[in-house]
Amino acid sequence: MNIQNSFIFDESGRTLILRGCNVGSKTPSAPYPAPLTKPETASFVGRPFPLEDAEAHFARLRSWGFTFIRFFITWEAIEHAGPGVYDEEYLAYLRKILLIAEKNGISVYMDPHQDVWSRWTGGDGAPAWTLEKIGVDVTKLDSTGAAITEQWLAEKKEPLPPMLWPTNYNRYAAASMFTLFFGGSAFAPDFRIDGESAQDFLQERYIAAFKHCYRRLKNCAAIAGFGSMNEPHPGFIGYQDLSRLENCMVKLGPMPSPFTAMTAASGYRVEVPIYKTDFLGERVVGVQVYDSALFKEGFSCPWKQAGFWSDEGGTPRLSGKNFAAINGKPVSFANDFLKPFISKFAERIREQSNKAFLFIEGIPMGEQPSWTKEDAPVNAVNAFHWYDGATLFSKSFYPWFTVNIETRKPIFGKKRASTYFTERLRQSVDWTRRKMGDIPCLLGEFGLPFDMNRRKAFKTGDYRVHETALSMYYDAIDANLLNSTIWNYTADNVNAEGDRWNGEDLSIFSENKPRAMHGWLRPYPMATSGTPLHLSWNRKTGFFSYTFKTDSSIEQPTEIFVPADYLRDMPLVMTNAPLESKIDADAQRVYLYNNGFAGEVEVHLQLTPLARLLN
């Protein structure tokens, strides 16, 4: 594959639309269930599935037309035993998995995945030793309010509120680690780890780990490219008033301000408001008290050391410093901190492969770095994410209702909701064209919770609501001619436990069968002998429409993937041009040959309507 402007092409010059899903694992295979004790003994061998099952999983994905996979791996999986100690057994397993993907015609991009920094701070990603290196006692993260994890709530026999985990971005541990990782040299220049600035230490170990991983995998032909970091976060960077909550996606559970979190981590007694968020809005419903220190003996808060606050006289107070400016100049996390990291990562990874794509991300549904054609990394793809926030956080879906995530205003009516989904994706595509050097786009994550609407579908087996939601999302993707990978495919998902991570249940595959298939299994042009212009699909009527401008020099056919069920009735192929068509039901393809024709082509396929499939 290669890139020219905003399109991705195959070796014959055909324009590709990459479609697939996310595959991987955030938690170890052993010990299982994954505790937060003895982190050095963790093993990810067997994740995302046992080697002996890989053939069946990849063959299944390919049969669904999912030939491009976002394969996510964590820093912890590679380097959990300590700095520079790589898990070679896991990397050998990973190599074997990728060889099986190649055998089944699956391309992948390797995604260095994290959520809220680490398993020890409520998510996944970084090894525990990254926290220990700044002096954190990882056994006290919960008792000090520095993080809330599923494991600690389970120990206290407390339920896990839906979508609690993202709130850890605003708690002390994750926010501090991200700030040190991206901006330690700017905001805590004298804070050192093993003699290096915290930023240099953390970034160098991160890059070295993934560079070693890619070195072990560099001859795997299935790999199309590498990501830089999943959903990077600014931490405290950008905060202007440390006494208040800023840059907060959602308020849920105990939510300290940065200053309160800093003093709590240093052992001061604090009272933290407990929030509840629902359709009625955000409100305080109680108070949580913390009064124990987070740091081991001989260590202290890096932000106290850097002069953001002090406790002279025994009373903590802010100094007036903030994370919003340096020497009076306002900072941009995306351009001043994230962009240099991505450039550094790209340069180092290019030492392993000059041709591989680099998939870059900004803040999810937030600030993105600006690039020009001159300074954008070579072969870069903007792998942005998008979710229907109202459905994701409420775990409910109504076709006639959603919420504009930027304005927080409700949207009523199915047509208006569909238009909003399309326009929201178009904004990201337009930004990429104007501000990122017109590189290609990939919607790296989107999806919905399958346990929504009070898990009703698990009892009835009726996934029509889910199918409607997913169909609306894919309609928006088609309208923008986007490459996409849905979140996610969890091989060991079961209805009772979901994806086995933070109460999430977004897998399109569960209990050894697909879920809501009629929402995401649909026709699309895999490879076009020309330039795509317009794409639409009506699953109810079975009408598929595709417009493209042909390239008469390309001999290979345009390939349209059509699921076998929609070929049940021999489809009609209609074009406004003298293209030769061929249907291969076994391969689930409709082929269109240009035969030297140059011009705009409208292709219409009358496929089997949904109602016929359900009979």
Domain ranges for the chain: 2-124+174-235+330-520, 531-614
Quick one: which H or E segment has residue 181?
helix 172-187
CA 518 to chain centre: 23
pLDDT at 97: 97
pLDDT at 207: 97
331-335 contacts at long range (C-beta below 8 A, 24 or more positions apart):
331/186, 331/237, 331/238, 332/367, 333/182, 333/183, 333/234, 333/237, 333/238, 333/363, 333/367, 334/362, 334/363, 334/367, 334/368, 334/369, 334/370, 335/369, 335/370
Radius of gyration, alpha carbons of the chain: 25
Low-confidence ranges of the chain (pLDDT < 70): 279-280
**How are beta strands 2-4 and 509-510 bridged, if at all?**
unpaired
Q: Is the pTM of this model over 0.75?
A: yes
pLDDT value for 487:
96
**What's the token pair of residue 30?**
């052993």
CATH topology of domain 531-614: Immunoglobulin-like (2.60.40)
Q: Helix-strand-coil percent breakdown of the chain, rounded to 5? A: 30, 25, 45
pLDDT at 5: 83
Handedness of CA 121, 125, 130, 134 (dihedral sign): negative
Q: Tell me what pLDDT residue 154 has.
A: 86
- Helix spans in 69-171 (H): 75-79, 88-103, 129-132, 150-155
- Dihedral sign, CA of 158, 161, 163, 167? negative
For the domain with range 2-124+174-235+330-520, which CATH number is right: 3.40.980.10, 3.10.290.10, 3.90.420.10, 3.20.20.80? 3.20.20.80
Which amino acids are annotated catalytic?
A: 231, 445
- For 322: left if phi > 0, alpha if psi spans -120 to 50, otherwise beta; the answer is beta
Residue 280: what pLDDT?
Answer: 67
The alpha carbon of 21 is separated from its chain's Cα centroid by a whole number of angstroms, namely 11
DSSP symbol at 379 = T
Task: Count CB atoms within 10 A of the CB of residue 324.
Answer: 16
Q: Is 227:342 a contact under the CB 8 Å cutoff? A: no
Give the per-residue pLDDT at 279. 66
